[in-house]
Structure 1
Amino acid sequence: MLIQAVFAAARDVFSPALRRILWKSLALTMALLALVWLGLTRLFDWFLDGTTVAAEYPILEGFAFFLAGFGIFVALVYLLPAVTAIVAGYFLDDVAEVIERGDYPADPPGTALPMGSAILYGLRFAGLSILVNLAALLLFFIPGINIGVFFVANAYLLGREYFELAAGRFWPQAEVTGMRMEHRGTVLAAGAVLAGLVLVPVLNLVTPIFGAALMVHLHKRLAHRADKWPRIPASSDAPHLK
């Protein structure tokens, strides 16, 4: 089931139907990363200007700039899950509508979250992701543990976030949580796929759209297996299930 959802999502990400959404998602993701990078560099410049060691020892200043460049890169990697959460909250409903209409025309349509609620949900998760990844960042210099902690933490967080966004189009929060807990192993495995994608340079930029597509397919397959709703004619104007 999960493997089928992964292949379906990979097919959808670069499909003509989602291409426009993908370009907009890439633009927003890179813009947010640029803002984060700018903020981190300004913070470092402020810190360096406030110290006297760099002025007295130019060699140390050059070494500090080298370390800062590496540190900023590492920080961006650890902050990327939070950035993808914000982008996913903004675009998930657009992705879901395309996939639901194209791949599941016989199912009742989902209802999009209000834009403000979707963005606030993404920001809330982004804040949680930042806290968790900052804690993981403290273990960065412990080989064998740093990547493992980063991977497991983000597998859980990304699986939870994306699944709840996709399932929330159809069910109240209590039912969404119940479905996620009932299938927590599958959701965690899907989150592990996303956490692995985050670690791949360049390809990690498509995480918001791929993650949205993956969880839309996964939610649909889980709901169908549990027979949570009846099949309806594609031409019917079905009411929302909530």
Structure 2
Amino acid sequence: MIFEAARLAGSNLLLPASRSVLFKSLGLTILLLIGLWFGLGEIFAIMAMPWLDSLLPGLPDWAGWAGTIAAIIAGVGLALVLALFIAPVTAVMAGLFLDEIADVIEVRDYPGETPGRPMPLGQSVKQSLGFLLVVGLGNIVALLLLLVPGINIAAFFLVNGYLLGREYFEFAAMRFMSPADAKRLRARNSTTIFFAGLIIAAFLSVPLLNLLTPMFAAGMMVHLHKMIAGKAG
């Protein structure tokens, strides 16, 4: 069930009907990440200035090297922080485009079934902000656990697998039921959804490919919800 949903979601990414959603999702994700890059770069520069100002008067001979080293360290730190933001940014994109992705899949793959109801704008924004908060906090915890040898990589997959699986599945389920019913359905199938979330986390861990996470995750959970709902009758 899980692998079949992942296969169907992967095949959906580049089909003609999905391209407009893909370009919008990918474009906005890249724009947000570029904005974060420059914004975080300014923060790093401001934080580094007092340290360099105190260093330069006393060590004029190698202050230039110190500045270069500081810039490299800041660049590495900036890249790590930006990597931390990829999951929350893609989470926001999911809130904006899940209904469009789901519409494409339901029309093409489930033509004989009643289509889902798009979420109202207010609920969609609320869910997106909640998604951003939950995934952001979860990844901060995962980042802290990176400092603990032996569990750092596992922490990334466990945290993101749980959060991404839960939130994307509930998004897909709420097209057909109330938020409370969606949570109950997710709770009854928590193990299946968690392992599906691990596949999404693996997708998220691949550079550049992770920019397509909203499309892949939303599509996968639409299929998985259909399979679970069908199995439950």
Classify the TM-score, shorter chain: over 0.9
Deviation string for 1:95-123 (max 9, x for gaps)? 00111111111211111012232122112
In the other structure, the counterpart of 1:18 is 18
Asked if the contact 1:90–1:115 (Cα under 8 Å) also holds between the matched residues in 2, the reply is no
Q: Deviations over 1:51-90 (max 9, x none)?
A: 2345343322211110111111111212111011100000
What is the aligned partner in structure 1 of residue 211 from structure 2? 205
User: Aligned letter for 1:64?
Assistant: A
TM-score normalised by length of structure 2? 0.93
CA distance in 1, matches of 2:14, 2:89: 21
Percentage identity across paired residues of the two chains: 41
Displacement, 1:191? 0.7
1:132-152 Cα deviation digits (max 9, x unpaired) = 212222233334322211111
Q: CA deviation at 1:220?
A: 0.4
- 103, 106, 117: which one aligns with 2:109: 103
TM-score with structure 1 length normalisation?
0.90
- Distance in 2 separating the partners of 1:81 and 1:152: 14
Q: Output the aligned Cα RMSD.
A: 1.3
47-56 or 70-79, which moves further after superposition? 47-56
Consecutive unaligned residues in structure 2, runs of 5 or more: 58-62
Moved more, 103-112 or 130-139: 130-139
Which consecutive segments of 4 or more residues in structure 1 shift more than 6 A?
none
C-alpha contact (below 8 Å) 1:54/1:61 kept by paired residues: no
In 2, are the aligned partners of 1:48 and 1:54 still within 8 Å (CA)?
Answer: no
Instruction: State the match for 2:56 in structure 1.
Output: 55
TM alignment of 1:1-242, pairs within 5 A: 1-51=1-51, 52-56=53-57, 57-227=63-233
**Aligned equivalents of 1:138, 1:185: Cα separation in 2:** 25
Instruction: Mark the runs of 5 or more structure 1 residues left unpaired by the alignment.
Output: 228-242
Paired residues, what number?
A: 227
Per residue, is there more helix in 1 or in 2?
2
Kindly provide the amino acid, as one letter, of the partner of residue 166 in structure 1.
Answer: A
User: Which deviates the most, 45-54 or 152-161?
Assistant: 45-54
Give yes or no for contact 1:55–1:61 (8 Å, CA) kept in 2: no
